[in-house]
Amino acid sequence: MINLVRNEMLKLLRKKRLYVIALIIAFLVPLFTYAQFKEIQDQREKMGTQDWRTVLQQEITDTQNRLSSSRIQDEWRKYLKIRLSQQQYYLENDIDPRAPGAPTFMRIFVENSIDLLLPLLVMVIVADLVSSEASGGTIKLLLTRPVKRWRILLSKYLAMLLSVSFIVLSVAVLSYGISGLVFGYGGWNMPLLTGFAVSGDELLTDNVHIVPQWQYILMEFGLVWYVCVIVGTLTFMLSVLLRSTAAVMGIMLASLIAGAILVNMVSSWESAKYFFMVNLNLTNYVSGMATPIEGMSLGFSMAVLAVWGLAGFIIAFVTFSKRDIY
Amino acid sequence: MKPVLKKYTLTIVSAVSIAASLLWLFGLGWTLQDQFTANEKFEQPKEKTESATSKKEDGKLTIFALGDSLTRGTGDADGKGYTGYLSDLLKEKSEQDINLFNTAIKGETSRGLLNQIQQGEIQRQAKQADVVVMTIGGNDLFQQGAVLESLDMNAINGKKQIYLRNVNNIYKQLRELNGDAVIYHVGLYNPFSNLPDAKTTSSVVRDWNFETAETAAEYENIVYVPTFDLFQLQVENYLYSDQFHPNKEGYKLIAERVASLITFEQKGDES
């Protein structure tokens, strides 16, 4: 088995995809670093102060003013209200949620890329894992070996898992390394609050507790990894079902982007919460954001994702072992 | 030579990936443990850190603005409001850097403002201020023009009593927080002075202004700045298209008036 996985890893590395992904991240991170740097600078100039409390207070007042405007959508109002009470909570406890530093950048970067950017990167790696063998004809060679089919597929699946871990790791390392040049490398022990629960447009703070930023980041990366594995599994299934890599990518791309759009407009269509792509934003539960649909929670979203992932896994293995190859 | 190198990278990448998998799995497990088990209630820190208490930033004049939409600047095309023009004027006059902290909220009533200044951060900023400017009462009195329809004197007087009590508490609280800063309370004008009921509405506004000024007079260094006269004639030229908030010109008038009241000798005494 180990040799089979080794073999698959070798194929993956030959294709140089992992390096391309790392390169893409290495290009994107400086972009976002610069954007955030500009934002901080701009804020300082406008407010004439470096005191984060004043800046946060100003943001709170601005939000309050937007809330008092009558031409505001209901969903947006709910989102603002929850963010407002959260900011107020941070302020009252004298904690700056955005003290600049590489760890903070890392955290904000994964929070913003968990629902689209990272799944896309995973998809690029996984999409042709099986389908390329089918379209290239090498699948016949592979299956003539005296090894059971499910073992071959499992070795591919394990290679997929390993490359997902590798991608997530490169995101962590690159975003820390590059943004640290600008923001400095400190800030691992900064306290952050988690455990906010949302009910309607109220923010519940019963279970709120402090965790140091390094733990917070580790937790968020765990969730990111989970999301990437599920997206990877679904792509893997499509890759088994379809011969054309382009079709696999097309379908995944469409559903991921559809998810990003749906999240913004499904609040009244309740059953949409069973789609996997609406549930990708797991980190929002840790930081305490408004959910796109009433009744969603971390447990719910993880369960929905698990069901999708499991179904994809089973379909992939059943199809692969039963299919006629010619 | 090449295949050897490849084998080497393969081992490294695989090992790193396996280690990473374990790390992320651990993170995931920790998330589950952290989010799904009850945590001990986090206690709010009793003592604020040193920097959280009042400390004035040196060499800068800090204006702290609070109140309703007038202080916010609703109706001004540039979004500055009188506070923005005021700080521009003062910057020219004193050649000094000005910090303007505007915590005004549209539609704020005297009651809302009283609640707002109970918040810790607002109090901290109030302590740091060199100058406080505020507007309040417009929403107590007019409430989007509702008062115009009835003109029920009893109801208006009832509202006035509540308003005056709140204003008195606001003054008291601000004075307790900051004994030095001069508070400029910008008064009410009558946006309806070109309408049929102008006589009644104007007399109500004058009455509120008078009573507020009386309340202000009981405290030291609270200046009640009249604006009624500014808008008395040609009110339509100084109002925004909603016929309620001032426009750019109107805000500039208010800013000039307040700016002429702020003197710098007295600021020198303070610091």
Question: What sign for the dihedral angle of Cα B21, B34, A310, A272?
Answer: negative
Q: What sections of chain A are H helices per DSSP?
A: 2-14, 17-47, 52-67, 74-92, 102-113, 117-126, 131-136, 138-143, 149-183, 213-241, 245-262, 283-287, 298-322
Q: Which of A9, A53, A218 sits opposite B10 (nearest CB)?
A: A9
* Mean pLDDT across chain A: 86
φ, ψ for residue B225, nearest 5 deg: -95, 115
Q: Are B18 and A162 in contact (CB under 8 A)?
A: yes
Residues of A in contact with B16 (CB under 8 A): 166, 169
Q: Does the pLDDT at position B41 exceed 80?
A: no
Side chain identity at residue B15, one-letter code: A
Instruction: Count other C-beta atoms under 10 Å from residue B103's C-beta.
Output: 27
Instruction: Count other C-beta atoms under 10 Å from residue B234's C-beta.
Output: 11
Using CA coordinates, name the residue in chain A closest to B10.
Answer: A10
A70 touching chain B per CB within 8 A:
no
- Of the two residues A304 and A12, the one the predictor is more confident about is A304
Average pLDDT over residues A183-207: 80
Q: Does the pLDDT at position A312 exceed 90?
A: yes
Q: Which of B30, B57, B106 sits opposite A49 (nearest CB)?
A: B57
Q: Does the pLDDT at position B52 exceed 50?
A: no
Q: Are B16 and A163 in contact (CB under 8 A)?
A: no
Q: Using 50, 70 and 90 to split pLDDT, how confident is the model at B56?
A: low
Q: Does the pLDDT at position B26 exceed 70?
A: yes
Using CA coordinates, name the residue in chain B closest to A60.
Answer: B103
Q: Does the pLDDT at position A282 exceed 80?
A: yes
Using CA coordinates, name the residue in chain B closest to A215.
Answer: B27
At B25 the three-state DSSP class reads: helix
Write down the pLDDT at residue B51. Answer: 44
Q: Using 50, 70 and 90 to split pLDDT, how confident is the model at B55?
A: very low
Max avg pLDDT among A24-28, A194-198, B70-74, B115-119: A24-28
User: Could you tell me which of A271, A295, A107, A113 has the C-alpha nearest to residue A197?
Assistant: A295
Q: Does the pLDDT at position B46 exceed 60?
A: no
Average pLDDT over residues A253-260: 91
Q: Are A61 and A177 in contact (CB under 8 A)?
A: no
Min Cα separation B214/chain A (Å): 30
Write down the pLDDT at residue A23. Answer: 92
User: Hey, what are B94's tokens?
Assistant: 């004193």
Tell me whether residues A56 and B17 touch, CB distance under 8 A: no
Q: What percent of chain B has pLDDT over 70?
A: 83
Q: Using 50, 70 and 90 to split pLDDT, how confident is the model at B50?
A: very low
Q: Does the pLDDT at position B267 exceed 60?
A: no
Q: Does the pLDDT at position B105 exceed 60?
A: yes
Domains along chain B with CATH numbers: 59-270 (3.40.50.1110)
Average pLDDT over residues B145-162: 76
Write down the pLDDT at residue A224. Answer: 95
Write down the pLDDT at residue A173. Answer: 94
At B264 the three-state DSSP class reads: coil
Q: Are B130 and B62 in contact (CB under 8 A)?
A: yes
In the block, residue with structure tokens 């750019």: B248
Any idea which of A20-24, A140-144, A314-318 has the lowest mean pLDDT? A140-144
Q: Does the pLDDT at position A272 exceed 80?
A: yes
Q: Which helix (H) or strand (E) holds B132?
A: strand B131-135
Write down the pLDDT at residue A237. Answer: 94
Q: Are B50 and A242 in contact (CB under 8 A)?
A: no
- Of the two residues A95 and B82, the one the predictor is more confident about is B82
Q: Does the pLDDT at position B265 exceed 80?
A: no
A43 touching chain B per CB within 8 A:
no
Q: Does the pLDDT at position A250 exceed 90?
A: yes
Between CA A150 and CA A320 the distance in angstroms is 7
Which of 51-80 (B) contact A at CB < 8 A? Answer: 51-52, 57, 60, 72
Between CA B244 and CA B169 the distance in angstroms is 27
Q: Which helix (H) or strand (E) holds A199?
A: strand A197-199
- Of the two residues B251 and B97, the one the predictor is more confident about is B251
Write down the pLDDT at residue B3. Answer: 53
Residue A81 neighbours by CB under 8 Å, 6+ apart? A67, A201, A203
Q: Does the pLDDT at position B271 exceed 50?
A: no
Q: Which residues of B148-185 are buried (b: 16+ CB within 10 A; e: fewer)?
A: beeeeeeebeebbeebbebbbebbebbbebbeebbbbb
Tell me whether residues A169 and B29 touch, CB distance under 8 A: no
Residues of B in contact with A51 (CB under 8 A): 51
Q: Does the pLDDT at position A311 exceed 70?
A: yes
Tell me whether residues B9 and A58 touch, CB distance under 8 A: no
Tell me whether residues A219 and B31 touch, CB distance under 8 A: yes
Using CA coordinates, name the residue in chain B closest to A283.
Answer: B31
* Mean pLDDT across chain B: 82
Tell me whether residues A54 and B20 touch, CB distance under 8 A: no
Residues of A in contact with B71 (CB under 8 A): none
At B133 the three-state DSSP class reads: strand
Residues of A in contact with B45 (CB under 8 A): 93-94
Between CA A300 and CA A305 the distance in angstroms is 9
Q: Does the pLDDT at position B45 exceed 70?
A: no
Write down the pLDDT at residue B4. Answer: 53
Q: Using 50, 70 and 90 to split pLDDT, how confident is the model at A92?
A: confident
Q: Using 50, 70 and 90 to split pLDDT, how confident is the model at A194?
A: confident
Write down the pLDDT at residue A179. Answer: 92
DSSP state of A291: P
User: Could you tell me which of A9, A16, A24 has the C-alpha nearest to residue A171?
Assistant: A24
φ, ψ for residue B200, nearest 5 deg: -65, -50
